Amino acid sequence: MLLVLGRRLFNVIPTLLAVIALVFLLFSVLPGSFISGMGEDGRTTIDPAVMERMRKEMGLDDPLAERFARYVAHTAMGDLGTSFRTREPVTKLIGVRIWPSLKLVFAAMTFAISVGVTLGFLAALRPGSLLDTVSMVTAISGLSLSQFWFGLMLMYLFALQLNWLPSFGYGDGGLRNLILPAVALGVGPMALLARTTRAAVLDVLNADFVRTARSKGMSERRVVEWHVLRNALVLVITIVGLQFGSLMGQAVVVEKLFAWPGVGSLMVDSVFQRDMPAVQGCILLIVVFFLFINTLVDIAYVVIDPRIRYG
Amino acid sequence: MKWGSNTWVGGGLVGLAIGVAIFAPWIALTDPVMDANLMNAELPPSWEFPFGTDAQGRDIFSRIVYGARISLTVGFVSQICNSLIGVTLGLTAGYWGGWWDDLVSGLTNLMLAIPSLVFALAIMAILGPGLASLVIALGLTSWSYSCRIARAQVLSLKSQGYVQAARILGYGDLRIMFTQVLPNILGPLIVIATLGIGGAILAEAALSFLGLGIRPPFPSWGSMLSEARDQIRAAPWLSVFPGLAIFFTVLGLNLLGDGLRDILDPQSTTRRA
Amino acid sequence: MSTPLLTVDDLHIALAGDGATYGAVEKVSFEIGRGEAFGLVGESGCGKSITALAIMGLLRRPLSLSGGRIVLDGEEIQDASAAEMRRLRGKRIAMIFQEPMTALNPLSPVGRQIAEMFVLHQGANWNEAMDRAEEALRQVRVPSPERRIRDYPHQLSGGMRQRVMIAIALACGPELLIADEPTTALDVTVQAEIIDLMAELCAAKGTAILMISHDLGLVANMCRRVAVMYAGRIVESQVAGAIFATPRHPYTQGLVDSLPRLGERSRRGQQRLREISGVVPSIAAYPGGCRFNPRCPAVTDICRSTAPDITPLPADGLVRCHHHG
């Protein structure tokens, strides 16, 4: 079993390296683009001589391979460069924002799983019923929503009209500020999970071994408890993992809308200000998060599915 | 062949959106960009302005109608781009195998690891804001789905001897790919494309909302929302109608895609699950 | 002779299609005595499997019971409630299926899947149940049962999985075991072992068997009486020996003839296997009159227009043909 785990972890490394390479290349491929941002903060235009000096300082004229090696080395040691905008280390900039982003993503996922999986599950147990139709209509609507527009509508209704919740901001980091952004972010994954869970449970309910279970004289409830749940779970976990992983990236807009101080809003600001090191750092973090979650899902598979464990 | 309600309702909504886009000059009440009368600023919906007016005094209804053109065009063009890239890469990767296949597969896995919005943002960071970079960015983000399908199909056909037979007959590689393999994946591809257009519209809206895509005064639904955001308290209708337009169009595309999947792709190779 | 254990009388099963309802199974009647081995033979699609499911009360949409009686030990069960049927399943009637790989839960150890029977029907706790599961595995001659109970289905061979299925089915000593093509998915060498095992265990426990198969030879060897089904109807039923020696229905004759045989014919160089021409009709397109008429070598006009009635044969046999014998 450890061998299987080890192999999975090992496979992540090439992808990680590839991402770092991609992030690096993206910003180095167009000459001058890297530091062109330094002058576009609107305040001053940089003297070409100063630009020249900066280029030398940052080693931008060195061969690509060298720059890449340097970048990887720095990154491995936790140095993601210096922000153009604030002149602070990017690592520090991002570090402060990780926790709020994580909170948001976790909250959104909790919402998505608890509502989505439950809905999909109940819908599958009563296919063709009113509950089923309503659930699936809700699901496909959730997939069609613009997340930030939905967030905006929620904000209008619950914060501005009803005054139940704060309209934006992190506040003291408490639950009240978390609810609206979490729901806005979570509605898409919720919809997808509802559909997937429904399909997975229906699949399992029609499986041969469930027929065997019924032929043993089990009540439908026992059939579901003892045989359906775990098998459907395996199918659902993939989607949970994929959604979870990409949620930090999808959060960029929601974070901006609710002025949530996370990695996503930092990325958007940095893109606007052409603060390349910060953009690079954000992308890296978001992707690392994705790979991390994916690996967790892989591990979960090994634990849950004996076919993989003893395969 | 079951034409379920999905297909009809979805097709209807999409048809409506396309119709509005095509006949915009006839449906709209005013010019969406030029007809700005500050005297009419921020009026709620009324007979004269069915969806109200914005901060510049422009008629929201007309802007939404013209906005259909922009949003649908962007969605359509970027999806075509994605499909072309994806199919080309997938077909060639599966067909020729070897290092090319490894490269493409690796690239696909990479793309799947980066959330599409983030990737689009990164590209726009390099290219700068504006319509052109928006379309390029969106056109480069979601080719991995069609790539996978194309590659899987080629691989399965290869083992069926189809391809062997054609080769023996002397067909060139390209010809085989286009005449033998492509027709088989057309079904799933159409499903992916339909759903993808919806995704592109949502992405465009998000990027324009952030101020990176289409900027005011052009009436893309997303840019209208970015303008509306600050007025949410005073003039909520500015946010509601563009959002609803996006919602119904994407809903239509999703329903249509689902319905088409039942018809064209019964084995659900395109299920994103 | 005491009352039969199972009586199926004039059974009708309907299939709901796109807008129309089809008669998948019609007028099926047979009896199985206590401890008797009874065979039901027919090609794929003739309705034998769904007849079995109907007896178990496991028919699901779009199939449904549309007429007839099923009597178990004197009690009518065709209208039994779901709860009542649940009490019967596993305890009094058990079933084993064709594909042992997919018939077992891949995520649960086989021992536990056997133990479930004891927990469900005999109120045992899990520890006791696992012990008894080990004993059950021993009975079906699985080597090293103490280790096997913790194995998962994918770790066992096809034959072993089927033994597990048999262990599950016979765990609570049911009165009737329905076996739906239990050996079709297995290697030929293993088939005989499984059949022997089933026959032996059922004889020892006094369990009746309803053996369903497309293999006439296999069924005739194991069972005392055999019924032949075609296109949803029973066309002939006789004692096993008689079915081979004196098949009365042209379809049965065709089946018997198509069995490869060593001996006279092959020695004389007549190697060609006889076949029944044509194909089994689909449920939606059953021919009128006698359903076998398009393929029958002895067909006449009356066959095409009128469905034949039952003609009784000696020793509780029957045949459904205008030109039997």
Which chains border C (3 or more CB–CB pairs < 8 Å)?
A: A
Instruction: Assess whether pLDDT exceeds 70 at residue A185.
Output: yes
In a domain, B269, yes or no: no
CA distance to A235, B200, C103, C160, per residue, from C108 (Å): 16, 43, 12, 16
Beta-strand relationship, C63-72 and C225-230: unpaired
- pLDDT value of residue A29: 61
- pLDDT value of residue A56: 67
Instruction: Assess whether pLDDT exceeds 70 at residue A43.
Output: no
In a domain, B52, yes or no: no
Prior bond of B217 cis (ω within 30°): yes
Q: Tell me which range, A77-86, B151-160, C80-89, is most confidently predicted by mean pLDDT.
A: C80-89
Average pLDDT, chain C: 86
- pLDDT value of residue C312: 84
In a domain, B54, yes or no: no
Crossing angle (nearest 10°) for helices A229-257 and A90-112: 130
Q: E strands of chain C, at which residues? A: 6-16, 21-32, 37-41, 63-72, 75-76, 93-96, 176-180, 208-213, 225-230, 233-239, 310-313, 317-320
ipTM of the complex model: 0.84
In a domain, C31, yes or no: no
In angstroms, the CA B234 to CA B42 distance is 8
Average confidence (pLDDT) over B27-33: 74
pLDDT band at residue A46 under the 50/70/90 scheme: low
Query: Inter-chain contact A140–B255, Cβ cutoff 8 Å?
Result: yes
Residue A8 touches chain C, beta carbons under 8 Å: no
Residue A300 touches chain C, beta carbons under 8 Å: no
In a domain, B154, yes or no: yes
- Of the candidates B117, B211, B250, which has its C-beta nearest A249's C-beta? B117
- Of the candidates A208, A213, A217, which has its C-beta nearest C91's C-beta? A217
- pLDDT value of residue A218: 86
- Mutation choice for C interface testing from A126, A129, A203, A209 by most C CBs within 10 A: A209
Residues of A in contact with C95 (CB under 8 A): 215
Q: How many domains does chain B have?
A: 1
Average confidence (pLDDT) over B20-49: 76
Residues of A in contact with B267 (CB under 8 A): none
Contact B225, B219 (CB under 8 A): no
Residues of A in contact with B9 (CB under 8 A): none
In a domain, B204, yes or no: yes
In a domain, C93, yes or no: no
Residues of A in contact with C108 (CB under 8 A): 226-227, 230
Contact B259, B7 (CB under 8 A): yes
Instruction: Assess whether pLDDT exceeds 60 at residue B269.
Output: no
Over residues B168-182, the pLDDT tens digits come to 777 777 777 777 777
In angstroms, the CA C67 to CA C78 distance is 9
Q: How many domains does chain C have?
A: 1
pLDDT band at residue A58 under the 50/70/90 scheme: low
Comparing C261 with B227, the larger pLDDT belongs to: B227
- pLDDT value of residue B200: 92
Contact A90, A290 (CB under 8 A): no
In a domain, C89, yes or no: no
Instruction: Assess whether pLDDT exceeds 90 at residue A108.
Output: yes
- pLDDT value of residue C133: 92
- pLDDT value of residue C78: 85
pLDDT band at residue A42 under the 50/70/90 scheme: very low
Range scoring the smallest mean pLDDT among A13-22, C57-66, C69-78: A13-22
Over residues C206-225, the pLDDT tens digits come to 899 999 998 888 888 889 99
pLDDT band at residue B77 under the 50/70/90 scheme: very high
**Residue C245, burial from CB neighbour count under 10 angstroms (0-12, 13-18, 19+):** exposed
Residues of B in contact with A259 (CB under 8 A): none
Average confidence (pLDDT) over A79-89: 74
In a domain, C324, yes or no: yes
Which amino acid, one-letter code, is at B24?
Answer: A
Range of the domain at C317: 225-259+288-325
Residue B215's domain is classified under what CATH number?
A: 1.10.3720.10
In a domain, C302, yes or no: yes
Query: Inter-chain contact C107–A213, Cβ cutoff 8 Å?
Result: no
Average confidence (pLDDT) over C237-265: 80
Angle at the Cα of B162 from the Cα atoms of B159 and B165, rounded to 5 degrees:
115
Query: Inter-chain contact B202–A272, Cβ cutoff 8 Å?
Result: no
- pLDDT value of residue C177: 94
In a domain, B113, yes or no: yes
Residue in chain A lying closest to C83 (CA): A219
% helix, strand, coil for chain C, step of 5? 40, 25, 40
Dihedrals phi, psi of C239, to nearest 5 degrees = -65, 145
| B137 HSE (CA, 13 A, CB side) | 30
In a domain, C219, yes or no: no
- Can you name the residues that pair with C319 across neighbouring β-strands? C236, C311
- pLDDT value of residue B81: 93
Average confidence (pLDDT) over C264-290: 72
Query: Inter-chain contact C102–A218, Cβ cutoff 8 Å?
Result: no
pLDDT band at residue C134 under the 50/70/90 scheme: very high
